[in-house]
Amino acid sequence: MMAPDITEPRIVVLASGNGTNLQTLIDATASQDFPGKIVAVGCNRPQAFALERASQAGIETFTVDHTEHDSRESFDTALRAEIDRYAPDLLVLAGFMRILTTEFVRRYHGIMINIHPSLLPRYTGLGTHQRALDAGDKVHGVSIHFVTEDLDGGPVIAQAEVMISPEESAASLAEKVRVKEHLLYPIVVRWYCEGRLKMEADRVHFDGAPLPKPLYLAEEE
């Protein structure tokens, strides 16, 4: 009989909406050989479909409704209390839509990652697809980064690009980007759980060496 692996990294995922990225992580971690386990899913919106997905998979959930808090500090303090019950080794933001306070970010320094729908450093913040279209960009994509106090400014781990076609809309572009998100996030989470990925002195280290630039998944023209 195999001994239970007590070192298996414990993952908490935070989401706000539909949770398609969460779903790909649920599916990936369900595989026997995945080196980590989603122990809880947290949400700031009680109606988020992400909560449904977690429950369906038998994963514990918690909700901290931001509309019931009158400051970001109060919301973040409540969120931290919930998260810390699960003693996570990795905190994954997957479509999580609330800006986090400095105190929160410090608490999970080096163990929190985010998926952002643009090729950072281009287009931090919201509305990235429309902004890429408005700028007349030919390429767009997704970035996965360690979360620091600097909004969408933490060190980038990996990126995947998509081509913007002449007849592109923000909706069609979001869909293209999402396909890459679903491809990339499980890979990066696996690397983290395998101990291959670390943030040291605000730089990404991969297999023990600083990563000179983000891993980049290019698209054919």
Strands 112-116 and 156-163: unpaired
* Active-site residue, selected from the candidate residues 66, 69, 109, 116: 116
156 to 195: interface string for ligand GAR, x by CB under 6 A: ----------------------x--x--------------
User: Among 9, 17, 155, 214, which residue interacts with ligand GAR (rule: CB under 6 A)?
Assistant: 17
Sequence-separated (6 or more) residues with CB below 8 Å from residue 54: 13, 19, 22, 26, 38, 40, 41, 60, 61
The smaller minimum CB distance to ligand NHR, of residues 141 and 154, is found at 154
- Long-range CB contacts (< 8 A, 24+ apart) of 191-198? 192/9, 192/36, 192/90, 192/113, 193/8, 193/9, 193/11, 193/34, 193/35, 193/36, 193/90, 194/35, 197/157, 198/110
Neighbours of 13 (CB within 10 A): 30
The smaller minimum CB distance to ligand GAR, of residues 81 and 135, is found at 135
User: Among 25, 91, 94, 173, which residue interacts with ligand GAR (rule: CB under 6 A)?
Assistant: 94
**Where does this chain bind ligand NHR (CB under 6 A)?**
93, 96-100, 105, 114, 116, 125-126, 147, 149, 151-152, 154
From the list ligand GAR, ligand NHR, none, which binds 98 (C-beta under 5 to 8 Å, kind-based)? ligand NHR
Tokens of 81: 């209390």
User: Among 19, 141, 155, 186, which residue interacts with ligand GAR (rule: CB under 6 A)?
Assistant: 19
Site membership for ligand GAR, residue 42 (CB under 6 A):
no
Q: Is 205 a catalytic residue?
A: no
Distance CA 38, CA 88 (A): 9
Neighbours of 5 (CB within 10 A): 9
Q: Which residues bind ligand GAR (CB under 6 A)?
A: 15, 17-22, 94-95, 97, 115-117, 126, 178, 181
The residues annotated as belonging to the active site are 116
